[in-house]
């Protein structure tokens, strides 16, 4: 691998871009389109940052900076592009090339317009900028689709031009005018613009003060070691041999979004020292293996709830590595509090990328190679621990259960695991996991075969899920088979759980409110008659009466007669909403039979199980009537069944529920 094919990522201050360089916006890019809202949001953020962390009344925070989203660029090598856009006397070489902007041109253009405005209003010429501000030169922007775009941008503020016929120039002029209005606090920005912010920060309420603050901020931080109080961008530099159009397509169609993971990848896989290409290649293969494993939904969803989907799944590995370091030496009783604090920090843009960038920044040669190897080892450790948990059936089920409860329980589990004493075993870790689950259901009591939870309580779902997961773990503990060969059959399918919507199903769910429409009533009668055909054949009189009621449109009377024949009775709301009448079922199955008789539900679920549809094991037990100790009423769900089922739940979850008597 040569340096010509090695992408580079680094932070650059806006000040570092003020060297008179050329940025070329290729024809496949759309024109400038930032709205006044986007422009004023940037101005607000910049001015607030300058005064909240580096204003005259605040203490400077060493190394702190305001970071914009990435700019993706590559050097232009085509002379047919370079020659027409260069000003007379401009010098372009390998150290100072023309840059093709693949992503980020909207930000670069807005910063250009802002800086141009500040120069104009402060009366600073190009010559004075170079002479009085350390050799600074405003960069040039050239849009391929607008040949005179560079000149238009350079002339902003010098004269009024008709921009109505050119949509790109209209938006550029609009941005310039918006900046002027916001800084002077005019029009709609009287209460939200720069003057209003001066009032908030107890500064002199002058336009000069606003302009000076922004100008100083954009000029701050030149050089890698002087970032404090500056505006930085993430500079993602592709090799000159890369396919710019393909890279643009990837970024803008969502195939590759520059998440922390993509930015971090460039840090870990960049070449450090000649002769170590094989190490970089090995690391690239390891990275690919991690990504492939995480894209196995069975692996991914034992670590995640659906609500926690990430743009790039490998981000989870870096988040865990970051949290492990952040939480180092934190006492157990402070873990939950510190994890919440850590989550808040991770809301910041590119927090983890900056975490690694700062570790590597300023290092070269062997020192950089050693540091990258150390950090990669920590990343690999995270992955291998997760992989190890996945292979252990009981750990898989317990951790998957915890992750369904609360996303923060995954980092908490990892931090506990890597901090265990050498004399502690895998069984000790499993005991710890069970105790964490116990905490999640601590306020659910089970006394004398009764559980104090009913329909409507959000913890019913957690309880029923735990019932199914724990059943599998008990089977593992009792089996004498080789788990290396058949362990997968005892793993709860969290991927299936997260791919579907789930209902808390009333096993006996009949209610007249669900059968208001005549068509629904007739359909219910037809289905029930089909499911009760054996009983109807034995009772011709009842069959004839039901048909007569149906024909005479006395549909609810027919329904009640069928329910009598099925020996279903109206249970009170308290009994109906009791945990003994609740089970977990996917919403597709549940809503397919709605308000049907138990016999109809049972038939539907058994048929779906035959067709390979996942039905939680405890739900299958319910509809297979395994709690009917007498085994005489396969077509009914009785109060006796409810009591037996609730007793089963109490016994199954005795290690988790509060069973102490008052």
- Asked if residue 474 belongs to a domain, the reply is no
- Asked if residue 446 belongs to a domain, the reply is no
Shared-domain flag, residues 104 and 220? yes
Shared-domain flag, residues 153 and 300? no
According to the per-residue pLDDT averaged within each range, which of 81-95, 188-202, 586-600 is highest?
Answer: 188-202
The average pLDDT across 134-155 equals 90
Shared-domain flag, residues 184 and 55? yes
pLDDT digits (tens, 9 = 90+) for 311-325: 789 999 999 999 999
Shared-domain flag, residues 525 and 623? yes
pLDDT at 146 (0 to 100): 81
Handedness of CA 468, 474, 479, 484 (dihedral sign): positive
- The tally of domains found in the chain comes to 3
Shared-domain flag, residues 230 and 314? no
Of the two residues 385 and 631, the one the predictor is more confident about is 385
Of 440, 462, 477, the last residue of a domain is: 440
Shared-domain flag, residues 398 and 296? yes
pLDDT at 583 (0 to 100): 93
pLDDT digits (tens, 9 = 90+) for 540-558: 777 777 777 776 677 777 7
- Asked if residue 338 belongs to a domain, the reply is yes
Shared-domain flag, residues 26 and 172? yes
pLDDT-derived band of residue 488, with 50, 70 and 90 as boundaries?
Answer: confident
pTM of the model: 0.71
Shared-domain flag, residues 245 and 363? no
- What one-character DSSP code corresponds to residue 580? G
pLDDT-derived band of residue 5, with 50, 70 and 90 as boundaries?
Answer: very low
Separation CA 472–CA 620 (nearest Å): 14
Of the two residues 222 and 305, the one the predictor is more confident about is 305
Q: Cα dist. 576→457, 536, 635 in Å? A: 14, 27, 18
pLDDT at 1 (0 to 100): 31
CA 444 to the chain's CA centroid: 31
pLDDT at 132 (0 to 100): 94
- Asked if residue 548 belongs to a domain, the reply is yes
pLDDT above 90 coverage of the chain, percent: 45
pLDDT digits (tens, 9 = 90+) for 235-275: 988 877 776 666 666 656 544 445 678 788 888 876 555 56
The average pLDDT across 165-187 equals 93
pLDDT above 70 coverage of the chain, percent: 83
Query: pLDDT at residue 343 above 50?
Result: yes
Token pair of 500 as six digits: 């579907």
Shared-domain flag, residues 315 and 202? no
pLDDT-derived band of residue 414, with 50, 70 and 90 as boundaries?
Answer: very high
pLDDT, the chain, mean: 84
pLDDT at 99 (0 to 100): 94
pLDDT-derived band of residue 145, with 50, 70 and 90 as boundaries?
Answer: confident
According to the per-residue pLDDT averaged within each range, which of 404-418, 481-495, 534-548, 596-610 is highest?
Answer: 404-418
Query: pLDDT at residue 62 above 70?
Result: no
Shared-domain flag, residues 410 and 330? yes
- With beta carbons less than 8 A apart as the criterion, state whether 504 and 582 touch: yes
Of 208, 237, 252, the last residue of a domain is: 252
pLDDT digits (tens, 9 = 90+) for 492-529: 999 999 988 899 988 875 544 455 666 667 767 777 67
On the 0-12 / 13-18 / 19+ scale of CB atoms within 10 A, 447 is middle
Token pair of 537 as six digits: 């054949």
- Asked if residue 458 belongs to a domain, the reply is no
pLDDT at 507 (0 to 100): 84
pLDDT digits (tens, 9 = 90+) for 11-21: 899 999 999 99
- Asked if residue 486 belongs to a domain, the reply is no
- Asked if residue 260 belongs to a domain, the reply is no
Domain that holds residue 386: 277-440
pLDDT at 3 (0 to 100): 39
Separation CA 68–CA 34 (nearest Å): 15
- Asked if residue 662 belongs to a domain, the reply is no
Shared-domain flag, residues 185 and 41? yes
Measuring CA to CA, which residue among 132, 127, 177 is closest to residue 157? 177
Shared-domain flag, residues 79 and 225? yes
Query: pLDDT at residue 134 above 50?
Result: yes
pLDDT at 661 (0 to 100): 58
């Amino acid at each position: 691998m040569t340096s010509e094919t090695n992408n580079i990522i680094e932070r650059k201050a806006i000040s570092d871009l003020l060297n008179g360089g050329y940025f070329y916006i290729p024809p496949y890019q759309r024109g400038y389109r930032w709205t006044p809202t986007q422009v004023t949001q940037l101005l607000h953020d910049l001015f607030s940052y300058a005064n909240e962390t580096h204003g005259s009344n605040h203490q400077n925070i060493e190394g702190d900076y305001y970071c914009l989203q990435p700019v993706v660029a590559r050097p232009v090598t085509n002379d047919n592009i370079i020659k027409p856009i260069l000003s007379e006397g401009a010098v372009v070489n390998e150290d100072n090339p023309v840059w093709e902007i693949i992503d980020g041109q909207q930000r670069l253009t807005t910063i250009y317009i802002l800086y141009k405005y500040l120069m104009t209003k402060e009366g600073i010429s190009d010559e004075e900028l170079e002479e009085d501000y350390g050799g600074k030169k405003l960069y040039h922007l050239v849009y391929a689709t607008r040949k005179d775009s560079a000149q238009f941008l350079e002339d902003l503020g010098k004269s009024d031009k008709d921009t109505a016929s050119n949509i790109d120039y209209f938006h550029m002029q609009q941005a310039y005018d918006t900046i002027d209005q916001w800084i002077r606090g005019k029009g709609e920005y009287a209460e939200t613009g720069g003057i209003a912010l001066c009032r908030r920060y107890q500064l002199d309420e002058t336009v000069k003060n606003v302009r000076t603050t922004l100008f100083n901020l954009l000029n701050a931080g030149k050089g890698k070691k002087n970032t404090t109080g500056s505006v930085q961008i993430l500079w993602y530099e592709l090799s000159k041999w890369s396919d710019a159009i393909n890279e643009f397509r990837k970024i803008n169609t969502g195939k590759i979004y520059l998440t922390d993971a993509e930015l971090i990848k460039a840090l870990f896989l960049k070449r450090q020292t000649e002769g170590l290409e094989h190490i970089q290649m090995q690391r690239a293969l390891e990275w690919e293996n991690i990504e492939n494993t995480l894209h196995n939904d069975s692996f991914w969803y034992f670590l995640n709830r659906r609500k926690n989907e990430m743009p790039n799944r490998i981000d989870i590995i870096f988040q865990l590595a970051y949290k492990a370091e952040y939480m180092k030496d934190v006492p157990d009783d402070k873990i939950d509090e510190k994890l919440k604090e850590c989550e808040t920090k991770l809301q910041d843009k590119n927090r983890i990328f900056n975490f690694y960038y700062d570790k590597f920044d300023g290092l070269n040669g062997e020192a950089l190679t050693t540091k990258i190897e150390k950090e990669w080892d920590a990343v690999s450790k995270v992955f291998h621990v997760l992989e190890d948990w996945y292979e252990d059936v009981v750990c898989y089920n317990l951790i998957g259960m915890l992750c369904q409860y609360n996303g923060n329980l995954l980092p908490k589990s990892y931090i506990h695991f890597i901090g265990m004493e050498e004399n502690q075993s895998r069984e000790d870790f499993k005991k710890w996991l069970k105790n964490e689950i116990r905490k999640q259901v601590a306020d659910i009591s089970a006394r004398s075969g009764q559980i104090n939870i009913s329909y409507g309580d959000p913890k019913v779902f957690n309880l029923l899920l735990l019932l199914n997961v724990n059943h599998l773990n008990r089977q593992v503990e009792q089996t004498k088979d080789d788990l290396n060969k058949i362990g997968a059959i005892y793993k709860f399918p969290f991927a299936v759980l997260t791919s579907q919507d789930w209902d808390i199903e009333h096993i006996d769910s009949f209610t007249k409110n669900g059968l208001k429409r005549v068509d629904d009533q007739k359909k219910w009668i037809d289905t029930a008659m089909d499911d009760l055909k054996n009983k109807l054949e034995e009772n011709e009189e009842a069959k004839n009466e039901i048909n007569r009621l149906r024909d005479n449109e006395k549909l609810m009377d027919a329904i009640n007669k069928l329910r009598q024949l099925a020996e279903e009775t109206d249970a009170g709301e308290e009994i109906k909403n009791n945990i003994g009448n609740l089970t977990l079922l996917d919403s597709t199955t549940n809503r397919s039979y709605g308000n049907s008789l138990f016999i109809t539900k049972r038939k539907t679920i058994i048929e779906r199980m035959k067709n390979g549809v996942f039905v939680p094991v405890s739900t299958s037990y319910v509809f297979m009537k395994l709690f009917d100790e007498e085994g005489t009423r396969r077509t009914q769900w009785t109060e006796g069944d409810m009591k037996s089922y609730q007793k089963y739940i109490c016994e199954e979850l005795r290690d988790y529920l509060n069973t102490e008597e008052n």
